[in-house]
């Protein structure tokens, strides 16, 4: 076949119809894998506010991708048109959690693999990925970093608070400090020895300490 033969109308207009049974199986499996991805996302979510719409998006994205790939593989002209159409798509929604990117690519990859006919790879691969995420993301550790915010009235209270923290935690690092008349505020990163957080109560009861707050630290602290 020469280069000119490729662009003959008979070739370009050739449509390989998708078998109805194959199409139904692909869509059903895409929905099932999409729901599994949704389940894993819900169980591993560690952000501030859970978005159910993002989970539904993962299901829809898996199904839509599988349909697009089925359409592309059935017609040469349509595949070229799809490439041109999809190249102008721009996503403006900000991804706040790095792990959300993995779920988006997982949904797209599952849809592509299913539509390509590699069903065992799509099913087994999704199960393995889901188990890995469930194990590692939900793994609890008292060594996870936390931010302790302490409000003190003077330098003496600040010294007592930091000494108490050093005795109770495994590691302590000052992230920021602000001071004005009658108030000193410290932001400290700490790593706990155990899961016991009673030392926060002891901090709040110290003379000269007006408040003590401990929050989870996800590594995106802005000082």
User: Do residues 65 and 161 share a domain?
Assistant: no
Within a domain: 221: no
96: DSSP letter: -
Domain count, the chain: 2
Task: Please report the pLDDT score of residue 126 as a whole number.
Answer: 93
Please, are residues 114 and 26 in contact by the beta-carbon 8 Å criterion? yes
* Distance from the first to the final alpha carbon of the chain: 65
pTM for this one? Answer: 0.62
Of 92, 110, 137, the last residue of a domain is 137
Instruction: Say how far apart CA 179 and CA 188 lie, in whole Å.
Output: 15
Residue 222 domain-assigned?
no
Instruction: Examine the domain organization and report whether 35 and 131 are in the same domain.
Output: yes
Domain of 155, in residue numbers: 145-216
Which among 123, 122, 125, 175 is positioned nearest to 146, based on CA atoms? 175
Whether 114 is in a domain gets the answer yes
Taking each helix axis from N to C terminus, what angle separates 20-44 and 98-115, rounded to the nearest 10 degrees?
A: 160
Tally the residues of the chain. 223
Tokens of 222: 């802005």
Considering the domain architecture, whether residues 174 and 126 belong to the same structural domain is answered as: no
At 97 the three-state DSSP class reads coil
Domain end among 114, 137, 160 = 137
Q: Running DSSP on this structure, what letter comes out for residue 154?
A: S
* Predicted pLDDT of residue 75: 62
C-alpha torsion sign, points 54, 56, 58, 64:
negative
Which residues pair with residue 146 across a beta bridge?
Answer: 190, 216
Q: Do the beta carbons of residue 133 and residue 195 sit within 8 Å?
A: no
The distance between the two most distant Cα atoms of the chain, rounded to a whole number of Å, is 89
158 and 51 housed in the same domain: no
8 A C-beta contact, residue 175 and residue 189 = yes
Last residue of a domain, one of 101, 120, 137: 137
Give the CATH number for residue 170: 3.30.70.260
Question: Count of CB atoms within 10 A of residue 188's CB?
Answer: 20
Does residue 98 sit in the same domain as residue 185?
Answer: no
Q: Please give the pLDDT value at position 115.
A: 85
Q: In the chain, at which residue ranges do the beta strands (DSSP E only) sit? A: 145-152, 169-180, 183-192, 209-216
Any domain includes 127 = yes
Q: Could you read off the pLDDT of 135-144 as tens digits, one per residue? A: 888 776 556 7
Do 102 and 197 belong to one domain?
Answer: no
In a domain, 115, yes or no: yes
pLDDT tens across 53-85, in order? 888 989 999 998 888 888 777 665 555 556 555
Residue 81's pLDDT is 58
Q: Are residues 127 and 163 in the same domain?
A: no
On whether both 61 and 160 belong to a single domain, the answer is no
Answer yes or no: do 128 and 159 share one domain: no
18/67 same-domain check: yes
Distance (Å, whole) CA 201 – CA 152: 15
What number of CA atoms fall less than 13 Å from residue 73's CA on the CB side? 16
Question: Do residue 66 and residue 172 come from a single domain?
Answer: no
Positions of the chain with pLDDT under 50: 3, 6-7, 9, 11-15, 220-223
Instruction: Judge if 122 and 65 occupy the same domain.
Output: yes
């Amino acid at each position: 076949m020469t280069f000119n033969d490729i662009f003959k109308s008979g070739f370009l207009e050739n449509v390989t119809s998708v078998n109805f049974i194959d199409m139904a199986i692909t869509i059903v499996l895409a929905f099932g894998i999409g729901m599994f991805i949704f389940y894993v996302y819900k169980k591993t979510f560690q952000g501030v506010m859970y978005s159910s719409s993002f989970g539904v998006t993962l299901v829809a994205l898996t199904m839509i991708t599988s349909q697009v790939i089925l359409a592309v593989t059935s017609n040469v002209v349509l595949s070229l048109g799809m490439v041109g159409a999809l190249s102008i798509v721009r996503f403006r929604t900000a991804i706040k959690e790095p792990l959300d990117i993995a779920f988006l690519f997982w949904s797209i990859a599952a849809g592509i693999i299913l539509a390509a006919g590699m069903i065992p790879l799509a099913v087994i691969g999704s199960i393995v990925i889901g188990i890995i995420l469930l194990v590692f993301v939900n793994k609890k550790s008292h060594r996870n970093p936390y931010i302790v915010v302490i409000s003190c009235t003077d330098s003496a209270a600040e010294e007592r608070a930091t000494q108490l923290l050093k005795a109770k935690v495994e590691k302590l690092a000052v992230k920021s400090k602000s001071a004005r008349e009658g108030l000193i505020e410290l932001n400290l990163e700490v790593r706990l020895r155990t899961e016991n957080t009673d030392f926060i109560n002891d901090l709040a009861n110290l003379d000269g300490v007006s408040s003590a707050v401990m929050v989870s630290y996800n590594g995106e602290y802005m000082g």
